[in-house]
Amino acid sequence: MIGTSKPEYYFILVCIIGLHYLAPIALLYTLINLILHGFNIKATAYGVPLIIEIIAVAESLFFLCVFLPYKSYLQREAKHPNPPSRDEREELFRLCNENISDPEVYLRKWFLGAELEDIRKDNVKEFFLWAFFNRGGPPGDDEDELDEMVSATETLLGQPIEDGRGSAKCLRLTLDEVKMLHRSLVWYMCVGFVDFLTYMKLLYHGFHFHRTKLTRFFTLFPFRWQSLFTKYHSPAKHTTYWHRPHTSTTRLPVVFVHGIGIGYYPYTNFLNEINSTAGLGSNDPNEQIGIIAIEIMPVAFRITHHALSKDELCAEIDQILLQHFSPSQKFVLASHSYGTVISTHLLKTPSIAKRIGPILLVDPVSFLLHLPDVAYNFTRRQPKHANEHQLYYFASMDIGVSHTLSRHFFWNENIIWKKDLEGRKVTASLSGKDLIVDTLAVGRYLGGRSESTFSGYTDEEPEPVSLDRSDSEPSLLRLRGGGADSVEPHDDWKYRTWKGTGIEVMWHKDLDHAQVFDNATCRRKLISVLRAYCESG
């Protein structure tokens, strides 16, 4: 993730404009040529390099014949999972309400910043139908339960909610339109080139790429030509991965899942340094920590199959694990951002959960997922700063990412609570300037009680706490982001010593989402924790 400086802002805008408007310009150029010259190649090529003509025609055909039909196809309704049972809904609703620090901001942000007077009972019921019943439409037989939920919300707000329907519109991720922006062929050529660089770097670092069957070669674009040259095969139908053999007899291997982005390129140094960082790694080839790095192609800026359901993906990952580990082999589970959603699914799959040892979650999005920040900041926030424009154009509006989040991201399946991690060693790495996650809320949730232990790995020195801050400012001022710059007297969890037991937090005050992998010092701190987990089991 880039920063927020003016040069970075202008740089990212130039990149976006150049990539986004290439297709319309190519289409206009091709249309004018057809009108003036028809299909006379010699006439259209006069004075213009042939490569320009080829790019213009290719971009035009790609936009008309691939993007527009595919965009329409992806608008199909989501196949929602069965809703939780009534008892499960009541427990989920209770946990959500117990972890809402500002009920007014919570409700207004789910309703895209609407005023409270515009949010009425029917609006709230519509939101709860999506959130807890996995559907839209009229309340039907669920009216009484919805009334109870609305009543509990009124108690939480400390004021009644007006009857009827207001003008507010709520965010219902899997029911709303799938919003996406066109990607040029030039962009996909860049993605393919970065993918090749990743392939070469990981090969150099001792990893082997495991492809799916060659009959699936054309199901992913840009094509991965390296698939034609690897001798290693994935046992799964859809899921590819990287593998570094585990030779240590005293340490646990690592399973890693990446986040939304361009694949494993941003993680190559991290994966390599698990074994090679000076002072941390071992030069003994018989004491290397094995690594399986799972690829999630639908969120890796490709055109490919739709995101698998949690059960399908867990089954495929289990096939991969059993190919390299014995059924009783424990492993350290590490993941980043969207990958923490996959980690949540693995932890909720009993056959896999019993083999999961310590856990490292970097920039986790699964904690407090009932809060609107992740959904709002990733899909609805209008970008202003350079990092927000980067997130919006290159991630949020990507075809595969947008479809995955809008049709395959079911928050009540993806959320994880502290009670789900009881008895486990878990470290969550949080960044103070995270533009997606409300990291202060997550940190306070994980570290607000005495039974948890917390990390001394912090980039922030303790500052005197000022209690003169006015709390009378309008709540809407806090709708813009996670509020990670606010000061509270109970934030001592940022400075406690990491012990390697229980649920722990690493705090990086000045880093944004994913920047921990770019910062060598902070990256080594992650690796120190990971290696300690591998050694302690």
Three-state SS string across 136-204, please? CCCCHHHHHHHHHHHHHHHHHHCCCCCCCCCCCCCCCCCCCCCCCCCCCHHHHHHHHHHHHHHHHHHHH
Same domain for 131 and 255, yes or no, is no
CA angle 40, 42, 44 (to 5 degrees): 70
465: pLDDT strictly greater than 90: no
Mean pLDDT of 419-446: 96
- If asked whether residues 66 and 125 sit together in one domain, one would say no
Between CA 165 and CA 518 the distance in angstroms is 48
Predicted confidence band of residue 36 (pLDDT cuts 50, 70, 90): confident
Shared domain check, 96 and 32: no
pLDDT (mean) for 300-320: 97
Residue partners of 270: CB distance under 8 A and separation at least 6? 517, 523, 526, 527
Residue 81 lies in a domain: no
Residue 24, in any domain of the structure: yes
Cβ pair 288, 247 in contact under 8 A: yes
pLDDT at 51: 83
The answer as to whether 47 is a domain residue is yes
| 206 and 61 fall within a common domain | no
Residue that finishes a domain, picked among 73, 97, 132? 73
Residue 160: exposure state from Cβ atoms within 10 A (0-12, 13-18, ≥19)? exposed
Residues 19 and 141 in one domain: no
Quote the number of domains for the chain.
3
**Does residue 472 form part of some domain?**
no
Range of the domain at 115: 86-157
Does position 288 have pLDDT exceeding 60, yes or no?
yes
Whether residues 205 and 317 share a domain: the answer is yes
Establish if 473 belongs to a structural domain: no
Whether residue 78 lies inside any domain: the answer is no
For 281, the token pair is 């790694």
Q: What is the pTM of this model?
A: 0.89
369/230 same-domain check: yes
Q: Give yes or no: residues 69 and 90 share one domain.
A: no
Same domain for 529 and 393, yes or no, is yes
Does one domain contain both 501 and 387? yes
Which of 157, 177, 194 terminates a domain? The answer is 157
pLDDT (tens digit per residue) in 163-179: 999 999 999 999 999 99
Residue 259: closest CA among 289, 298, 308:
298
Determine which of 272-286, 406-420, 431-445 has the lowest per-residue pLDDT on average.
Answer: 272-286
CATH of residue 430's domain is 3.40.50.1820
Higher pLDDT, 462 or 268: 268
Indicate the average pLDDT of the chain. 89
356 & 453 share domain: yes
Q: Is 162 a domain residue? A: no
Q: What is the pLDDT of residues 216-259, one digit of tens each?
A: 999 999 999 999 999 999 999 999 999 999 999 899 999 999 99
Q: Point out the domain boundary residue: 73, 98, 130.
A: 73
**230 lies in some domain:** yes
pLDDT confidence of residue 326: 94
Range scoring the smallest mean pLDDT among 37-46, 304-313, 377-386: 37-46
d(CA 522, CA 519): 5
